[in-house]
Copies of this chain bind each other. A is one copy, B any other.
Amino acid sequence: MQHVQAARNFHNEHPMTPPELDPNVTSAIENSFAKQGLMTTIGAELHLVASGEVRLRINARESLTQHHGFLHAGIIGTILDSSCGWASQTLMPLGTEVLTVEYKLNLLRPAAGSNFEGRGTVVRAGTTLTAAEATFYTTNDPDRLIATMTATLIGVRPQSSD
Protein backbone atom coordinates (compact mmCIF):
# COMPACT_ATOMS: atom_id res chain seq x y z
CA MET A 1 0.00 0.00 0.00
CA GLN A 2 1.17 3.50 -0.76
CA HIS A 3 0.46 6.80 0.91
CA VAL A 4 -2.42 8.96 -0.09
CA GLN A 5 -1.75 11.59 -2.70
CA ALA A 6 -3.46 14.83 -3.48
CA ALA A 7 -7.22 14.66 -3.53
CA ARG A 8 -8.72 14.06 -6.92
CA ASN A 9 -12.30 14.57 -7.77
CA PHE A 10 -15.06 13.85 -10.21
CA HIS A 11 -14.31 17.00 -12.15
CA ASN A 12 -10.90 16.04 -13.25
CA GLU A 13 -11.50 16.22 -16.95
CA HIS A 14 -12.14 19.92 -16.70
CA PRO A 15 -9.25 22.19 -15.92
CA MET A 16 -9.21 24.89 -13.26
CA THR A 17 -9.41 27.57 -15.92
CA PRO A 18 -12.20 26.48 -18.20
CA PRO A 19 -12.24 27.59 -21.82
CA GLU A 20 -14.22 30.66 -22.79
CA LEU A 21 -17.90 30.03 -23.19
CA ASP A 22 -19.71 31.05 -26.37
CA PRO A 23 -21.90 34.05 -25.35
CA ASN A 24 -24.74 32.56 -27.39
CA VAL A 25 -24.70 29.51 -25.15
CA THR A 26 -24.86 31.74 -22.09
CA SER A 27 -27.81 33.57 -23.62
CA ALA A 28 -29.56 30.30 -24.44
CA ILE A 29 -29.24 29.21 -20.82
CA GLU A 30 -30.46 32.58 -19.55
CA ASN A 31 -33.46 32.24 -21.85
CA SER A 32 -34.11 28.72 -20.64
CA PHE A 33 -33.90 29.91 -17.05
CA ALA A 34 -36.35 32.71 -17.77
CA LYS A 35 -38.81 30.25 -19.31
CA GLN A 36 -38.96 28.08 -16.19
CA GLY A 37 -41.90 29.32 -14.18
CA LEU A 38 -40.65 27.35 -11.21
CA MET A 39 -37.42 29.35 -10.99
CA THR A 40 -39.46 32.52 -10.44
CA THR A 41 -41.81 30.80 -8.01
CA ILE A 42 -38.99 29.70 -5.74
CA GLY A 43 -36.88 32.82 -6.23
CA ALA A 44 -33.86 31.08 -7.74
CA GLU A 45 -31.03 33.15 -9.23
CA LEU A 46 -28.72 32.12 -12.06
CA HIS A 47 -25.44 32.98 -10.39
CA LEU A 48 -22.71 31.62 -12.67
CA VAL A 49 -22.54 30.08 -16.14
CA ALA A 50 -19.15 28.74 -17.12
CA SER A 51 -17.89 25.97 -19.36
CA GLY A 52 -19.06 22.75 -17.73
CA GLU A 53 -20.37 24.47 -14.63
CA VAL A 54 -23.49 26.33 -13.53
CA ARG A 55 -24.33 27.73 -10.11
CA LEU A 56 -27.77 28.70 -8.86
CA ARG A 57 -28.59 30.55 -5.67
CA ILE A 58 -31.68 30.54 -3.52
CA ASN A 59 -32.69 32.07 -0.22
CA ALA A 60 -34.56 30.39 2.60
CA ARG A 61 -38.17 31.47 2.86
CA GLU A 62 -41.28 30.28 4.64
CA SER A 63 -42.87 29.20 1.37
CA LEU A 64 -40.16 26.61 0.67
CA THR A 65 -39.97 24.78 3.99
CA GLN A 66 -40.43 21.20 5.04
CA HIS A 67 -42.04 20.32 8.37
CA HIS A 68 -39.08 21.37 10.52
CA GLY A 69 -38.78 24.75 8.87
CA PHE A 70 -35.69 23.87 6.82
CA LEU A 71 -35.46 24.20 3.07
CA HIS A 72 -37.42 21.30 1.55
CA ALA A 73 -35.40 18.48 -0.04
CA GLY A 74 -37.52 18.90 -3.13
CA ILE A 75 -36.17 22.41 -3.57
CA ILE A 76 -32.63 21.16 -3.13
CA GLY A 77 -33.36 18.58 -5.82
CA THR A 78 -34.84 21.27 -8.06
CA ILE A 79 -31.82 23.54 -7.74
CA LEU A 80 -29.27 20.78 -8.26
CA ASP A 81 -31.13 19.13 -11.13
CA SER A 82 -31.34 22.49 -12.87
CA SER A 83 -27.68 23.28 -12.27
CA CYS A 84 -26.69 19.89 -13.72
CA GLY A 85 -28.90 20.44 -16.73
CA TRP A 86 -27.55 23.84 -17.62
CA ALA A 87 -23.96 22.80 -16.87
CA SER A 88 -24.46 20.02 -19.40
CA GLN A 89 -25.90 22.46 -21.92
CA THR A 90 -22.71 24.57 -21.81
CA LEU A 91 -20.83 21.68 -23.45
CA MET A 92 -23.46 20.85 -26.07
CA PRO A 93 -23.87 22.35 -29.54
CA LEU A 94 -25.86 25.58 -29.59
CA GLY A 95 -29.55 24.82 -30.00
CA THR A 96 -29.48 21.56 -28.10
CA GLU A 97 -32.03 21.18 -25.34
CA VAL A 98 -31.37 19.14 -22.26
CA LEU A 99 -33.59 16.64 -20.52
CA THR A 100 -32.81 14.92 -17.24
CA VAL A 101 -32.80 11.13 -17.51
CA GLU A 102 -32.28 10.46 -13.82
CA TYR A 103 -30.75 11.95 -10.74
CA LYS A 104 -29.86 10.77 -7.28
CA LEU A 105 -29.78 13.07 -4.31
CA ASN A 106 -27.93 12.30 -1.09
CA LEU A 107 -28.99 14.50 1.81
CA LEU A 108 -26.13 14.92 4.25
CA ARG A 109 -27.43 17.51 6.71
CA PRO A 110 -30.55 19.59 7.33
CA ALA A 111 -30.60 22.62 5.02
CA ALA A 112 -30.21 25.11 7.87
CA GLY A 113 -29.18 28.62 6.86
CA SER A 114 -30.46 31.53 4.86
CA ASN A 115 -28.55 31.69 1.56
CA PHE A 116 -27.79 28.61 -0.47
CA GLU A 117 -25.88 27.76 -3.60
CA GLY A 118 -26.12 24.72 -5.84
CA ARG A 119 -23.18 23.99 -8.09
CA GLY A 120 -23.52 21.60 -11.01
CA THR A 121 -20.51 20.39 -12.96
CA VAL A 122 -20.06 18.04 -15.88
CA VAL A 123 -18.22 14.80 -15.15
CA ARG A 124 -18.33 13.35 -18.65
CA ALA A 125 -19.84 14.87 -21.77
CA GLY A 126 -20.63 12.12 -24.26
CA THR A 127 -22.19 12.40 -27.68
CA THR A 128 -25.64 11.35 -26.49
CA LEU A 129 -25.50 11.37 -22.70
CA THR A 130 -23.84 13.64 -20.18
CA ALA A 131 -22.97 12.70 -16.62
CA ALA A 132 -23.00 15.55 -14.12
CA GLU A 133 -22.75 16.01 -10.40
CA ALA A 134 -23.74 18.78 -8.05
CA THR A 135 -23.26 20.00 -4.51
CA PHE A 136 -25.48 22.13 -2.28
CA TYR A 137 -24.23 24.33 0.56
CA THR A 138 -24.73 27.68 2.25
CA THR A 139 -22.87 30.56 0.63
CA ASN A 140 -21.06 31.33 3.87
CA ASP A 141 -19.76 27.78 4.30
CA PRO A 142 -19.27 26.16 0.89
CA ASP A 143 -17.22 23.32 2.33
CA ARG A 144 -19.97 22.05 4.59
CA LEU A 145 -22.01 20.07 2.12
CA ILE A 146 -25.75 19.80 2.64
CA ALA A 147 -26.44 17.53 -0.29
CA THR A 148 -24.81 15.95 -3.33
CA MET A 149 -26.33 14.83 -6.62
CA THR A 150 -25.27 12.70 -9.54
CA ALA A 151 -27.31 12.96 -12.72
CA THR A 152 -27.59 11.69 -16.27
CA LEU A 153 -28.80 14.08 -18.95
CA ILE A 154 -29.60 13.74 -22.62
CA GLY A 155 -29.24 16.38 -25.30
CA VAL A 156 -32.12 16.72 -27.71
CA ARG A 157 -32.18 18.68 -30.97
CA PRO A 158 -35.51 20.47 -31.15
CA GLN A 159 -37.65 19.17 -34.01
CA SER A 160 -38.62 22.70 -34.94
CA SER A 161 -35.01 23.50 -35.77
CA ASP A 162 -35.17 21.54 -39.04
Contact = CB atoms under 8 A, between A and B. Distances in A.
Interface SS of A by simple majority: mixed
A8 to B, nearest CB: 7
For this chain, the copies found in one complex come to: 4
Interface residues of A, number: 79
A63 B50 contact: no
B102 A13 contact: no
Nearest to A32: B67
A162 interface: no
Contacts of A16: 6-7
Contacts of A81: 73-74, 77
Contacts of A75: 38, 74, 78
A150 B152 contact: no
A10 B12 contact: no
A9 interface: yes
Interface of A: 1-4, 6-14, 16, 18, 32-33, 35-38, 40-42, 46-50, 53, 61-69, 72-75, 77-79, 81-82, 97, 99-110, 119, 121, 123-124, 126, 128-129, 131, 133, 135, 142-145, 148, 150, 152, 154
